[in-house]
Copies of this chain bind each other. A is one copy, B any other.
């Protein structure tokens, strides 16, 4: 079993976390290690649900802050183990988001008497269908554990504040044909060929880029998967294009669905996943106070993040974590050590 040394500096700790393989649905080892490290800290009360670990102070402070990070990564892409080079740590999950997890573990170990009560949430299965998401499950099974005045999600955001988040929905666009032997293909109807206009429409897509609370969002419509085929000598009777729509937070779920259905008008469209975005929420006092502590700069968040889960619970939340999100999910995923150190320093100052 892997163990974590919380006395190490935050960069070494990031490296330790990266080197524990934790592709989604394989978080047992990393969750065990995080739980064991937190249980050893007497000022924290630890709760485990599945492979999600929650640790809380209970100091009777007037304000409580949730700090959350997911433990899973996207699939391995020949990018383990971690490699430190010229002040940059490379490796699967270094950016998304084990740098942030390391910052949380350092806060948990070192800030034993924070000025605000703290709730740390290390959770499973953020990179897969939201039905598996550990934070989402917690909002349903243990909402009391997430009660707070403000939440910080350690999603990569260049060690600055990224407010709100875009929504995401997934649909299957399905074409249906008729099987036949491929030696007499004219007796059947090829469902893969029928999908040509679906791909053509995706190529024609022009993104909307609305401005909200002074932040410029950017939508996106993309095939993330395609499948079809029965056997090498059979004309296939079904083809499915999996499409992901990323939509700005001024669009509701219903509006997003209507847009996509209209875009693929004439095709069979099934919604398979939906997560609403979150408005920036920069009008809330707790958010304003944190933004001020960080230095005032705020950017929009393009990716869907679990800030939306907190929005649903009525807790104002922002993204603030090390790493450039542009490198999340890339083969050469990496995080500047300066980002990790900066996030640790700012949060320690804010909580001192």
Contact residue among B181, B184, B234, B326 (Cβ-Cβ distance under 8 Å from A187)? B326
CB pair B227–A226 under 8 Å, yes or no, is yes
CB pair B168–A183 under 8 Å, yes or no, is yes
- CB contact under 8 A between A186 and B199, given known A234-B224, A239-B226: no
Chain B CB within 8 A of A310 CB:
no
With both beta carbons as reference points, the residue of chain B lying nearest to A199 in the complex is identified as B196
Within 8 A of B (CB), among A175-204: 179-187, 190, 192-193, 195-196, 199-200, 202-203
Copies in the complex: 2
CB pair A181–B233 under 8 Å, yes or no, is no
Chain B CB within 8 A of A222 CB:
yes
Chain B CB within 8 A of A342 CB:
no
Within 8 A of B (CB), among A210-253: 218, 220, 222-236, 239, 241-242, 244, 246
| Size of interface on A: residues with Cβ below 8 Å to B | 60
Interface centre among A193, A195, A228 (most CB of B within 10 A): A193
**What residues of chain B lie closer than 8 Å to A170, measured between beta carbons?**
232
Chain B proximity of A77: nearest CB distance (Å): 8
Measured between alpha carbons, how far is A168 from B231 in the docked complex, in Å?
14
Chain B CB within 8 A of A273 CB:
yes
CB pair B224–A227 under 8 Å, yes or no, is no
CB pair A228–B236 under 8 Å, yes or no, is no
Measured between alpha carbons, how far is A21 from B273 in the docked complex, in Å?
38
Chain B proximity of A199: nearest CB distance (Å): 4
CB pair A196–B200 under 8 Å, yes or no, is yes
Contact residue among B74, B199, B273 (Cβ-Cβ distance under 8 Å from A231)? B74
Measured between alpha carbons, how far is A207 from B285 in the docked complex, in Å?
69
With both beta carbons as reference points, the residue of chain B lying nearest to A234 in the complex is identified as B329
**What residues of chain B lie closer than 8 Å to A226, measured between beta carbons?**
192, 195, 226-229, 239
CB pair B233–A127 under 8 Å, yes or no, is yes
CB pair B225–A233 under 8 Å, yes or no, is no
- CB contact under 8 A between A202 and B193, given known A226-B229, A231-B127, A242-B232: yes
Measured between alpha carbons, how far is A129 from B233 in the docked complex, in Å?
10
Chain B CB within 8 A of A71 CB:
no
Known: A168-B183, A181-B303. 10 other contacts (CB 8 A): A74-B234, A75-B230, A179-B329, A182-B246, A184-B303, A184-B325, A185-B220, A192-B226, A193-B223, A226-B227
Q: Which residue numbers of A lie inside 8 Å of B, CB to CB?
A: 74-75, 77, 127-129, 166, 168, 170, 179-187, 190, 192-193, 195-196, 199-200, 202-203, 207, 218, 220, 222-236, 239, 241-242, 244, 246, 273, 302-304, 325-326, 328-331
